[in-house]
Structure formats: structure tokens, C-alpha cells
Amino acid sequence: MPTPYGVGPVNAYLIDAQPLTLIDAGFQTQEAKDILTNEVGAAGHDVSEIKRVLITHGHPDHYGLVPWLQEQLGIDVYFPSQELSRMTGKGMRMHFGILLMRAGMPLELLMKMDERRKQDPRPWLNIEGLKRVNDGDIFEFEDFHLETHHLPGHSGGHFIYFEPDSRSLFAGDQLLPHVSPNPLLEPSMEDPSERRRSLEDYLDSLDRMKKMDPSIAYPGHGEPIRDPVELIDRTIGHHLDRKKDVAKLLTAEGQSPYQLAQQLYPNVTGYDIYLSVSEVVAHLDLVETDGAALIEDREGVTYYRAS
């Protein structure tokens, strides 16, 4: 189903077994609704026959059609518990803004980005009507079951769904075939005034995914991944290489993550500025852990110097 984002179309997966189950729900457009209806029909079912929807994470290209499925068709929707807490937590938007300003993003740019964000369609969710998914929950089918695993990384509350007998993995945005998922800059789940170390979370989640030894992975974007373990290794290698690239940019004087992002990604605009700053901050965490960066606060902005 199409999305307005650079990552391209988003996938939803119909598990043709009882109870009929959909994993993720596309973007909130009439076109996406028509595509979902037609594809479910091509599989020999009507959308109203779906009994439950399992969401991988709380980004609008993955839960966009939830209001239609939930409110109009009466389908049970299971949503990651941590993602609901992040999306509904008091002052979360303010904490996002503070974190970006700490990263050196100018206030004027932040305000422009917020105005642009307000223009994007954001589905209204009946939070009370959603069922929360927690780590370790099991979804039973007639002849098999899906395990749920909380694997933070791309987002702090991201879940994957795993069928252990066939070792089939529904990966959401934790594993993508053509791009590395962005480890987003966002507030910590435990303390929203602090920043989540998203790439460290993500690398740990990749290790946990590798230990599952998946035979195939169904990503949130792109074609099925026929050798997930190889892609996991390649993704880890990519981030370790990018860590070196970021470390090489550090100077004795120090620079903010926003300044470093401008050097690494000089042509990005709009929402992609946030993605570029997220990418830099995430890799700076690895550089700092290696002892190759020193951090200092200058009037509320974090600067990184070569150690």
C-alpha cells in the first residue's frame, strides 16, 4: 500500500488460517483501503471476516486503517503496549522537541517541522478499544501459534511476531531488505525527559533476532527476506562502519549532532532532517561507548569532541 514516505509502500500480511489475522494495517487513505479490500478478496475472503489485527509498532503507515477496521468493522486490534504508552504519554511532543534542541536543531527549523507534521494525516485511535500486546504473549491458530517479542530499535515499543516451527518472522520495520531501519531519536520509555539509546537497543535486538534463526522474514516494506541471518549480519556491519564515519568527523572543538548531520547529509530537507539527526545521535552513542568521544553541554546543546 502506498505511503507518502521515502521508504515507499508498506506491507500488511494476511495469515490465511483461523482465526483470520492481519499483521499491520497500512496508511490511512482510500487507496490503501481499496488495495487491502481487493487483496483480501483475492485470497478468498471479505475484510469483515478478519478476526484480529496485530500491529508491529505505532507509526501511521502501519496502523493507519485501524480506525476503519476497529470502529466500522468491529475487528479486534492488538497494539504494542509500550507504543501506546509513548503515543499517549503526557508531554511527549514537548520532550521530543527538547531532545532535538539538545541535539542542536535551531528552534525555527523545529517549528517549521512541527507545522509540516500537523499537515500529515494522523489516524485517530480509540485507545480504550485497543487490546494491548505484551512481551511473551501467544496468538493461537488452529495448527500453530505466533510468539510476540518486544524488540526495541526503530521505535522503543516495536514488536515482532514469530512462528517457531517454520521460523517465519514478521519483522515490521526492524529488518528491511534495501535500507537499514532508522534508530529514531525519541524519549526514553522509563523517563521521557531522557533520550533512549536507540541504536544500542537496535543492535541488541538484532542479536536476539539472529538467535531465533529465522528461515524467512516478512518486512514492513519491501520483498520477503530469504536469508534473514545474512541480512542481520550485514545490517550490524553497516552500523559499525557508519560509527567509524561519524567518529572521523569529530574535532577538538566539538560539534552538535545537528552540525554533524549537516555534513553527512547536506541535502536533506523537511522530516528527513529529523531522520538524519536521529542517525547521527544513534551512532554517536556507539562512539561514546568506545571512548572515542567526549561530551559537554553548552547552553543546553550537547557537543561531541574527539577524545
Whether residue 289 is contained in a domain is answered as no
Cα–Cα distance measured from residue 96 to residue 138, given in angstroms and rounded to the nearest whole number: 33
Whether residue 271 is contained in a domain is answered as no
What DSSP line would sit under 223-240, residue for residue? Answer: S-BS-HHHHHHHHHHHHH
Whether residue 90 is contained in a domain is answered as yes
Whether residue 280 is contained in a domain is answered as no
Overall number of domains in the chain: 1
Residue 191: domain span: 13-248
Whether residue 301 is contained in a domain is answered as no
Q: Model pTM?
A: 0.91
Q: What is the pLDDT of residues 78-122, one digit of tens each?
A: 999 989 888 776 677 788 889 999 999 998 888 887 776 666 666
Helices and strands per DSSP (H, E), number in the chain = 10, 12
Q: What is the pLDDT of residues 116-154, one digit of tens each?
A: 666 666 667 777 889 999 999 999 999 999 999 999 998
Cα–Cα distance measured from residue 150 to residue 148, given in angstroms and rounded to the nearest whole number: 7
Q: What is the pLDDT of residues 222-238, one digit of tens each?
A: 999 999 999 999 999 99
Residue 50 is part of a domain; what is its CATH number? Answer: 3.60.15.10
